[in-house]
Structure 1
């Protein structure tokens, strides 16, 4: 579980570093791979951590994305705010949904992806960018769905 916590906390920093290294063209890949993984992994941790531990992890990881972001100013603030808000919405949604873990994870990932996709470009660039929001939203949901499936399958294999 410690490894999962480290990966969860590092995902946004890795996304920020990859954009700083390779430019904005890597953003769709980040949305699918890193942010999708982050949303699904948060749900996996939800059932393994106490509520106060999950809250502390979300706040700490969100706070860390700011000083570890190579982009300064509005981009770093937007990244930290979007990550934290999306994680909190994902967490609250997951807690309220009923059904299988996979259903709850995918449902909460939709909510988290929507929040992240709206907040980041709006804060970072000072405008609502519908095409960017839509593309990021779809990539995060698709990535989150894939990662949720991988985590569910892994948990089934470990339990067997």
Structure 2
């Protein structure tokens, strides 16, 4: 495996301070989630259609890292509006009916190449979880939510919504 692209390195660097994270829209690109798990972080990656690449990355990290990567089929729009129990179940965080507040303890919600139509629900999910929200865009789109721009050594801009 070669050096990851600057956009991945920038996002991993911005997320390095968080212990428990949710990635929205992992798609067929599990590299950021895998890199965070390799740094002993706990990552739950969600997508409406979890790819084989994401499932394989989760299996690989289970066997070889101090952190964890779990993939869950879920829709961020539903997660942002469901009641707490449905959200917990949708994210695979704790068993149904448990009153374990740690089950929803998440430090950051993030996304790579987040399209404009998913930015509001992603921020809403982070707000519900009282978590930071960071993302990159598709590049040709500007954020449709209030953000601060964080630039690093690459040209990649990581947007911080909360």
Q: TM-score of the superposition, structure 1-length normalised?
A: 0.32
Structure having the higher strand fraction is 2
TM-score, normalised on structure 2? 0.32
Structure with the bigger percentage of helix = 1
